[in-house]
Structure 1
Amino acid sequence: MLVVCSDTHGADDPHLTGRTREAVDAADLVIHAGDFTTPAVLDAFRAAADRLVAVHGNADVEAVSARLPAAASTTYAGVPVAVTHTERGGATGLSLFGRERGAALVVSGHTHRPTVVDADDGGPTLLNPGSHADPRGNRPGHAELWGVDDDLPAVVRDVDRPASGLVGVVRTPDGDVIERIRVPLRD
């Protein structure tokens, strides 16, 4: 399972509770789209995740920003993923960021609002998991994704699966599903 978090904004605690904690503990890969804020929170994520891909955000102190890039790329279940905290130009800027990197999925943060924008015109799916710890008036959230060839859990069995790619959900720390995600892998 791929787990996506962002905007923790912690001083010394990553605020991994409930389903968010369970998901991070079980994940093959955790992506964090920035704003850990302090080295202690970054280190706590590194300790909790078997594998962590992370970028810095605008609220991270210099000791965090110096350890993380502004953008990163990775793959999960053969799906290319591009990660940034924020990108000028909103959805259009994020889509261009993903296209430049050949990504099928672009992960971002910054708004604290869980958002999924489906791929259009062959572009990438855009995912902002929101903030599990500091939702700022939005529902708290993180994302969980699986490769379409994986043994899928019940929570995503009704998602319209692409021929190849990822399927998933944005969930609250309480485990409620906020939104479903479909990430087709284009040839």
Structure 2
Amino acid sequence: MLVVPNNSSKAIPAADSQTIQTFMGMLAHEMRTQIAGICTASNLLLHETESRKNKNFYLSHINSMSINVLHVLNNMMATSTIEDGKLAIKALPKRIQIRQWLKEQILQYKLITAIRSVKIKTNFRRNVPEYITTDEVKLGQILKNLIDNALKFAPANTNICIYICSLREDRLLFQISDSGQGIPADKIPFLFQPFNLLMKG
């Protein structure tokens, strides 16, 4: 859990203040797209005049996204601490069935892919084990960021492909490809800078 001393008589050191800002930026980044998905589904539900089946679809999406928001929030609070003015993040490893897990992750995109006429397809190499041990929430966050970026730029009526293979016993490789315009060469050096918007989608 992230702990900040509640002592109004002392100023928070600059390093700690910057670390707190970094954490809050991470939290806002993770929450923003999740809440946007909930807003989209609820707005469609409010204006839905068709079948009960469609309404149940939107409600199911809202429920799924809400649960995922709680999982991400709880995971970040449980695994993030400030140590010596630096943000330390640990993992909460868990054994998961990777194919079923990925299927559940992709189901969260059922609404947005339908709206944008895009399909998400997976390709598992045979050497991928049935079970892996990982922090499923953090792996989900990484995967979600990659899929979100692919969805921003993938043209309608195209596929987003997720390729998974085993590099060695304790490591998997995820590759995500789409038919979008790609990242310009001059933007590559800024790719891993926190919260840096490289392109508008």
Class of the TM-score when normalised by the shorter of the 2 chains: under 0.3
TM-score of the two chains, using structure 2 as the length reference: 0.24
Higher helix share: 2
| Higher radius of gyration, 1 or 2 | 2
Higher strand share: 1
